[in-house]
Amino acid sequence: MHGISNAWRLIGLAGVVALGACQSGGGGSFASLGGSPAGVPIALEVVDGPPAPVRTALTDELVAAASKRQVEITGVSGPARYSVRGYLSTETDAQGSTALAYVWDVFDADKRRAKRLTGSKPIRAAGRDPWSGLDKDTLAKLAAESMDEIAVFLSESKRAGATVTAEVRTGSEVAVAQ
């Protein structure tokens, strides 16, 4: 009877912890991560689409944003669990409004796409060159939002890997105990 009472206490405690975890704000943003993406290195392969100066500036902003979010970026030849490839394009509609569309494909070690992140942002283009609307602040915001999403994915994959490992260990302990 005493063992049953302790089991119910543990179940109750687990419920309180689970409910507490649900109370974090941010709706999936980096700020609400229960874990860190640290320890899940990525290789930032290439950003296709923009002219070289924009690509270089965006890459610099992505590296800075990654550092702030504990996302480890390795060299292309370094040991990475995932690689990230970006695609940017601009489009001007009939009213003259310009938007920047972006896609981040996250590939696993076997080169299978594990996640696709997409979005579009209005930008101001000076003159006929739509890329001219991408100043340092715009690129920093794009990099920060993109790295937030990538960090959330990496943290979730890290937790999922830990859960699978724990289940395997628990399963083997149960098998041994029987």
* CATH match for 37-177 among 3.30.360, 3.90.550, 3.40.50, 1.10.287: 3.40.50
pTM of the prediction? Answer: 0.68
pLDDT at 77: 66
Q: Is the dihedral of CA 56, 60, 65, 71 positive or negative?
A: positive
Q: Is residue 164 over pLDDT 70?
A: no
pLDDT at 33: 45
pLDDT at 177: 37
Q: Is residue 95 over pLDDT 80?
A: yes
The domain segmentation of the chain, as residue ranges, is 37-177
Name the CA radius of gyration of the chain, rounded.
22
